[in-house]
Amino acid sequence: MSKVIFTSSEGAVTEVQALPGDSVMESAVRNGVPGIVAECGGSLSCATCHVFVDEADLAGLPEMEEMEDEMLWGTAVDRQDNSRLSCQIKVCEGIDLHVTTPSTQL
Amino acid sequence: MAGLLIIGSSQAGVQLAVSLRALGYEPEITLLGDEDHRPYQRPALSKEFLQDKITKESLIYRSQEYWDDHRITVVKGEWIERVRSDEGGAGVAFSATGREFAFDRLALAVGASARRIDTPGNELDGVLYLRTADDALELKARVSEISNVVVIGGGFIGIEAAASLHSMGKRVTLLEYGPRLVRRAVGEQTSEFIRAHHASNGIDIRTGAVAERIVGGADGRVAGVVVAGETIAADLVLVGVGVTPNTRLAEQLGLEVENGILVDRYATASDGVTLAVGDCSNLPNPIPNSPAGERVRFESVNHAIEQAKVAAYAAMGRQEEYGGMPWFWSNQGELKLQIAGLSTGYDRVVDRSPADPNKLSVLYYRGEQLIAADCINVPLDFMMVRQALTKGVNLPAEEVADPAVPLKSVLTAHDNPAARDNPAAHDTQGK
């Protein structure tokens, strides 16, 4: 098991146990973590699962593919250097992740 | 207290329950479904799930812990045979297993059912439909034994399943009885783009094609489909010819139905208290500037979510408008189609497709007004049109024709907050 620690735009922290192989989005939505909408259920079609990844964790993530990169230009809150779509981030065994959710996904 | 009974635990029912608690709704909530599965998402059934790229677990909306923490009682595998309501909208629902579910208020999120064909031979073993997880599981179970598939129906389900099965090595023939694919949802250019792409990949797509007869082998299993006198070999026939809204329970209650359960702008049915949401509901067209009195029935995840939010407000005694603009997605092999808005009624098309043969970007106008876009593998254009539509900012046709000009710059140039119409009504947190 691993942990994903979600910090809201207002500083509220929610920690979830995450199954390796699940996406960060799935971990959030299944547990009802506020701040992630994921309207398209993880098919990279809606950009409503936007997160800002902690700098310390960012480097360890596989690079994003072109489609995710393009979709990130359409997020409700403007993208930053550490922006990712959480449906594309897979949880790995033994590696905890820390992300911040934007003030809105819509 | 009996609380609120939500019959139907798919997208609309789930969102209604979730939104109610987010708004502070206190009474008991029962989220009841007829399928013997925990509430799950359907879109991937014809896509990643069929292709074995994701597990059934990925389809589940929420953990049991979530439902428990939010005091939402999830009931599965209960088919409601009969529902009775008394004055004020309270009543009882009776299931096929003999259980009774009392309610103070009822919400119907009962969805729609796959339309059945009556083609001779349709009862043969191997003629399948694709609406539910069980349908998908049956299809998956047979996939390894079959080589030739005939898909009847050139809408989203048919094309997505065809693309999936083709990618899994099957020989696929798709029959669409109309003149083009996805006729209701996209324009001619998009239809042709989709057809040409899949055809060039090796899917035998036939438009204007009617399955006259389905023929079987000695074992009673399907063996072929007859079209214009030709018998196309088929070990499996997958039918995707649309859905019909489930209005049986609404009719029992004496609610008005016509192409779905009639509701007002606040997801409330003709008795003034029962809610109806999602694929089963027929509502006044929520798009601004629609003709007065025009009614629609939308079959999309986005609609189920947006209308469920409206219904949740209604249950809280608040009248809130439907938020955002409709949008839709369809993944068909390498094609990622995203539709923003509704193109019905367009009188002008601007094609700003990039040079890449796998990309399409078509914007629809009615007069000077941008009303919709079909984008294939151009997510940026889709996102920008969606934003423009949601913000009520028009992107003039002359300014968007050049694919080299990013729509974002056009949007920014015209996005004058002082001149903007009502933005999307909701800014809910991501619950």
pLDDT digits (tens, 9 = 90+) for B61-112: 999 999 999 999 999 999 999 999 987 999 999 999 999 999 999 999 999 9
Q: What is the band of B324 on the pLDDT scale with cuts at 50, 70, 90?
A: confident
Q: Could B63 and A30 be called an inter-chain contact, meaning their C-beta atoms sit closer than 8 Å?
A: yes
What is the C-alpha separation between B289 and B421, in angstroms, rounded?
Answer: 12
**pLDDT above 80 (res B130):** yes
Q: Is A88 on the interface with B (CB under 8 A)?
A: no
Q: Which pTM value belongs to this model?
A: 0.94
pLDDT (average), residues A66-75: 92
A37 chain-B contacts, CB cut-off 8 A: 430
Q: What is the band of B199 on the pLDDT scale with cuts at 50, 70, 90?
A: very high
Residue of B nearest to A36 (CA): B430
The predicted structure's pLDDT at residue B428: 43
Q: What is the band of B1 on the pLDDT scale with cuts at 50, 70, 90?
A: low
Contact B149/B237 with Cβ under 8 angstroms? yes
A90 chain-B contacts, CB cut-off 8 A: none
**pLDDT above 90 (res B290):** no
Structure token digits, residue B344: 């019905």
What is the C-alpha separation between B175 and B273, in angstroms, rounded?
Answer: 43
CA distance B27 to chain A (A): 20
Contact B397/B296 with Cβ under 8 angstroms? no
Q: Is A102 on the interface with B (CB under 8 A)?
A: no
Number of neighbouring beta carbons within 10 Å of residue A7 = 18
The predicted structure's pLDDT at residue B416: 77
- B391 or B245, which is more confident: B245
Number of neighbouring beta carbons within 10 Å of residue B17 = 30
State pLDDT tens for residues B407-420.
999 999 999 765 55
State pLDDT tens for residues B333-360.
999 999 999 999 999 999 999 999 999 9
Number of residues in chain A: 106
B43 chain-A contacts, CB cut-off 8 A: 40-41, 43
What is the C-alpha separation between B362 and B400, in angstroms, rounded?
Answer: 10
B338 chain-A contacts, CB cut-off 8 A: 45
Q: Could A31 and B63 be called an inter-chain contact, meaning their C-beta atoms sit closer than 8 Å?
A: yes
Q: Could A34 and B43 be called an inter-chain contact, meaning their C-beta atoms sit closer than 8 Å?
A: no
Residue of B nearest to A39 (CA): B302
State pLDDT tens for residues A1-31.
899 999 999 999 999 999 999 999 999 999 9
